[in-house]
Amino acid sequence: MSNHPLGAACATRTDPFRVLEEIKRLTLERLGGLPGTLYGPIEDALALSATHVDRDAFQYEDQAALWSLRHQQAAQVMRYRQQLARGFDEFRTLRAPGRNYLTMGLLDESQLDLHIAGERVGEALTQRYQKSLEMVEARLHTLAGTLGLQNMVNPVGPGRLATAFVEAFDGVRIPAQLRGHLFGFYESALARVLDDLYGQTSHLLAQAGYGIERESAERVSAASEAASGANAGASGLGAAPSVTLEELRGLLHAWREGAIRPELFSAPHAPQRTLQGRRDLRVEEVVSVASLLQSEPTDAFARALAGSGELRAAIRERLGEGARRLGLSPDHTTIGRDSEDAIDLVAMVFESLFASQELHERCRRLYARLVLPYVKVALGDRALFDQPEHPARKLLDAITEACAGNNAETQFERELFERAALVAQRVAIEYRENMAVFEQAFAELDALLLQQRQRVFLQEERAAQAVHGRERLQHAREHADAVVGRRLSAQPLCEATASFLGTSWRHHLLQVLLRDGVDSARFAEAVALGDALVEADGLAARAEGRALATRLVALERAIGDCLGSSGQDDTAAQHGLVALVRGLAWPDAARAVHPLPPRADAEDDGEDRKLWLAGGTDTLPPQDPAVVQSLRALTVGEWLHLTDAEGKTIKAKVGWISPLTSRRMLVNERGSRVLVASVDELAALVAQGRLAAAAAPRAFSEALAQVGERLRRATA
């Protein structure tokens, strides 16, 4: 750590290029060989899965691909090291790539899978090492300032490390299960070294005189507040309160010890009290009982998850039966406080999952199999409730991602559910206090989930393209209508001219706007045609026949093109031209100022109106400026809680921001559009309590937060 006070810079600093070279050397030393260390654990994981899955063809494909990758190991390590070094080159030269939005058609499906897997690894590690990254990046910002760089990309940030790994396998096709293992074990390997790497990097920067100056310190403080959700609460969006294990245990103890209103619970559901004359079972004894039972039928747990009873009571009853079988009579023993904590928290987490996630009835048996294994994990490892990246939490998150909203309507959805059921069964059979079972089960399921995430990504892209297309159409219609309306109201026109301008010319303007844009030469020519026809109508009204004939001859080709853009063939276009000429041939024809006629395609507006809240922003009252500002700052990928018209709360992500209207398109976890609205309209939802900030979907973390809220209400 730096010895310099906050806000003070070292009087003498080491040459920044030398410092960067030292960090680069350290990074290559600690990470440079990682790709070559992954194949042994992957081979073990494939061998384990082969004993449980009847998928010989796929297993052969995975083994063959692994054999090929092993033979290219040296080249992969070299490319990986080159990519790590490239990150430092980009830092020095400001060749920052920024966020890469994948463009449809530029990557084949295999490469898209790699990029999606890399993004997931980067996001997971960024969340895990957020505080360490804030310190490192603040010091790097100070160093960048001495080089005159205004922006920078952290060369040792998780996103850059994920990109380096993806690029190491550029052009390589990797089967889904093997790809899941590859990125899963890479993430685990990084997790074992990043704490030290970030600590040493921060120390090197501080020792070289690049401490955190005041501006950077404020940035770190602001980022920390954002991570905790404080900024969302201040802006009025709100956020789910974070909860610690100690807080949960305190609430549980208060609940059990009677610090609640008695009328909240009936006698059968009341918390267990201390029983006189009975010793507490040791944690090891409870684990032994759970191990005895975990592979047996779990109908009682499935019934409890269906709402026919409390899961915590069902677990206690089942453990009591198992204790008798092991000679631990309930007449002389009872479950101790620590074991009670584990049982209650696991039960409440599973109940919250079924209360908050869209889980179908067939999921009950799948989750019921997992109850006792998770009780065992909770009994022996408190990190289950403290660490979002705990292997058992990651697996439950993955299983919930596979099952939530899965109606098994397609072959892929059925396969995904069957794979989730298979890994749940494996955990129930194999878990013997070895977390590798959870890691391997997660890697296998995540390989298939990567395909689902790709489908969600493509669904979001299609939804954004559809909305963008309709907005472009609506924008072009409004612009064309404004141009036509001004010509129709500028001077009295005969019916033939007004009809042509309000139909054929109007459609022509729309087509040119959509194809070429408002600033194009073609649009200028299209507008000039309308102005020329208005002038020609004036010539006709003044009986200037020769000038009118000359003008119409000069416009003949442009008028033909205009009629042709409406899909008319040459014959129909000639008839249209004749009708226009015939109308202009009579100087004494009635002339009037004409209103803009209704569009023939007005029925299409019904779909447009569905894209945003009815009424538009002109009917909304003024909104809280702080809320509007916070909503305007939302970026693509940020999550919100949205309550729909039926009162159901769903998680929605900002999937796209319109470049035309700045409206935000919100999509659900399956990538389907749920709402398109302006910032002011979203602010109105916030004011109604229908929109609030949310964390990225983590089923276990959400359930744990709901457990905390449930206990807070009970002890209020």
On whether both 172 and 120 belong to a single domain, the answer is yes
Structure tokens at 225: 């507040």
Is 274 in the same domain as 370?
yes
SS3 665: strand
On whether residue 395 sits in a domain, the answer given is yes
Using alpha carbons, select from 36, 79, 62 the residue that is nearest to residue 181: 62
User: Distances from the Cα of 441 to the Cαs of 398, 436, 686, in angstroms?
Assistant: 10, 8, 40
Per-residue model confidence (pLDDT) at position 275: 53
Flag whether pLDDT at 252 surpasses 50.
yes
For the stretch 231-236, contacts whose Cβ atoms lie closer than 8 Å and that sit 24 or more positions apart, written own/partner, are: 231/630, 232/630, 232/692, 232/693, 234/626, 235/626, 235/627, 235/629, 235/630, 236/624, 236/626, 236/627, 236/630, 236/686
Compute the average pLDDT of residues 631-637: 86
Phi, psi values for residue 302, rounded to 5°: -65, -40
Point out the domain boundary residue: 536, 557, 592: 592
CA 651 to CA 641: how far, in whole Å?
5
Among the residue ranges 15-19, 79-83, 237-241, 362-366, the one predicted with the least confidence is 237-241
**Given a cut of 80, is residue 686 above it in pLDDT?**
yes
* Per-residue confidence (pLDDT) for residue 110, from 0 to 100: 63
225 versus 180: which is more confidently predicted?
180
Is residue 381 very low, low, confident or very high in pLDDT (cuts 50, 70, 90)?
confident
- Residue 386 corresponds to which amino acid? D
Same domain, 90 and 196: yes
CA neighbor of 226 nearest in space, from 355, 134, 358 = 134
- In DSSP notation, 388-456 reads TT-HHHHHHHHHHHHHTT----SHHHHHHHHHHHHHHHHHHHH-SS-THHHHHHHHHHHHHHHHHHHHH
Do 410 and 372 lie in one domain? The reply is yes
The band of 212, judged by pLDDT with boundaries at 50, 70 and 90, is low
- Residue 471 neighbours by CB distance under 10 Å: 20
- Please tell me the predicted confidence (pLDDT) of residue 315: 94
Whether the per-residue pLDDT at 619 is higher than 80: the answer is no
* pLDDT per position as a tens digit, 425-456: 999 999 988 888 998 899 889 888 888 888 88
Provide the H-helix boundaries in 295-410.
299-303, 311-325, 337-356, 363-380, 391-403
Residue with the larger pLDDT of the pair 540 and 49: 540
Mean pLDDT, to the nearest integer, of 188-210?
Answer: 85
Side chain identity, residue 364: R
pLDDT at 621 over 60: yes
User: C-alpha angle with apex 370: 369 to 373, nearest 5 degrees?
Assistant: 115
In a domain, 517, yes or no: yes
281 phi/psi in degrees, rounded to 5:
-65, 135
Is 100 a member of any domain?
yes
List the one residue out of 339, 235, 228, 306 whose CA is nearest residue 682.
Answer: 235
**Pairing between strand 664-667 and 279-281?**
unpaired
Tell me the mean pLDDT in the region 467-491. Answer: 92
Q: Are residues 343 and 451 in the same domain?
A: yes
Mean pLDDT of 680-689: 90
Question: Is the pLDDT confidence value at 101 over 70?
Answer: no
| Distances in whole angstroms, Cα of residue 261 to Cα of each of 131, 272, 345, 708 | 40, 16, 21, 17
Looking up tokens 């505080």, which residue turns up?
131
Query: Contact, 534 vs 490, CB < 8 A?
Result: yes
Give pLDDT tens digits for 583-602. Answer: 888 888 899 999 998 876 65
pTM for the model:
0.60
Does residue 86 sit in the same domain as residue 224?
A: yes
With cut-offs at 50, 70 and 90, classify the pLDDT of residue 664: very high
Confidence of residue 202 (pLDDT cuts 50, 70, 90): confident
Q: Kindly calculate the radius of gyration of the chain based on its CA atoms and give it in whole angstroms.
A: 33
> Higher-confidence residue: 490 or 222?
490
Looking at the predicted structure, is the pLDDT value of residue 603 above 70?
no
Residue the block writes with tokens 């209704």: 598
DSSP letter at 628?
Answer: H
Highest mean pLDDT of the ranges 70-84, 116-130, 239-253: 70-84
The pLDDT of residue 269 is: 45
Cβ atoms < 10 Å from Cβ of 621: 8
Instruction: Give domain status of residue 239, yes or no.
Output: no
Q: Looking at the domain assignment, is residue 417 inside a domain?
A: yes
Residue type for 471, please?
E
- Residue finishing a domain among 201, 228, 255: 228
pLDDT at 667: 92
Higher pLDDT, 94 or 60: 60
| 570, pLDDT greater than 80 | no
Question: Does 21 fall in a domain?
Answer: yes
pLDDT at 602: 53
Least Cα distance to 70 among 40, 32, 31 occurs for: 40
What gap in Å lies between CA 324 and CA 331, rounded to an integer?
10
| 367 and 266 within one domain | yes
Q: 50 or 571: whose pLDDT is higher? A: 571
Give me the number of domains the chain comprises: 4
Average pLDDT over residues 187-213: 82
Q: Tokens 């790809």 sit at which residue?
A: 179
More confident residue, 38 or 243: 38
Q: How far apart are CA 302 and CA 395, in angstroms?
A: 19
Q: In 484-526, where do the E strands start and end?
A: 493-494
The tens digit of pLDDT for each residue in 499-555 reads 999 988 999 999 999 999 899 999 999 999 999 999 999 999 888 888 988 988 898
pLDDT at 657 over 80: yes
Q: Do residues 7 and 218 touch, judged by C-beta distance below 8 A?
A: no
DSSP code, position 640:
E
Q: What is the pLDDT of residue 236?
A: 56
* Mean pLDDT to the nearest integer, 189-215: 79
SS3 category, 670: coil
User: What percent of the chain has a predicted confidence (pLDDT) above 70?
Assistant: 84
Domain boundary, last residue among 406, 440, 462: 462
- Does 473 fall in a domain? no
Residue 153 near residue 96, CB atoms below 8 Å = yes
CATH of residue 676's domain is 2.30.30.140
What does the alpha-carbon distance between residue 370 and residue 373 come to, in Å, rounded to a whole number?
A: 5
Residue given tokens 């729909």 in the structure block: 644
Q: Are residue 644 and residue 506 in the same domain, yes or no? A: no
Q: Specify the pLDDT at position 196.
A: 81
Q: Could you list the residue range(s) of the whole structural domain that residue 518 is in?
A: 492-592
Would 5 be classed as within a structural domain? no
Same domain flag for 60 and 196 = yes
Hey, what are 350's tokens? Answer: 């599973």
**Whole-angstrom distance, CA of residue 426 vs CA of residue 429:** 5
DSSP for 208-232, written as a single string: TT----HHHHHHHHHHHHHHHTHHH
187 and 44 part of one domain: yes
Please tell me the predicted confidence (pLDDT) of residue 258: 62
In angstroms, rounded to a whole number, what is the distance separating the alpha carbons of residues 56 and 678?
52
For residue 290, the model assigns a pLDDT of 92
At residue 361, the 3 state secondary structure works out as coil
Say what the pLDDT of residue 109 is.
62
- Sequential DSSP letters for 522-552: HHHHHHHHHHHHHHHHHHHHTT-HHHHHHHH
pLDDT at res. 238: 61
| Residue 244 tokens, joined | 């610690």
Is residue 241 pLDDT above 60, yes or no? Answer: no
Same domain for 563 and 523, yes or no, is yes
**Does residue 493 carry a pLDDT above 90?**
yes
- Rounded average pLDDT over 143-147: 84
Q: Please provide the average confidence, as pLDDT, over all residues in the chain.
A: 81
- Cα–Cα nearest to 442, from 431, 458, 455, 456: 431
Are both 498 and 621 inside the same structural domain?
Answer: no
What digits encode the pLDDT tens for the residues 404-426? 888 888 888 899 999 999 999 99
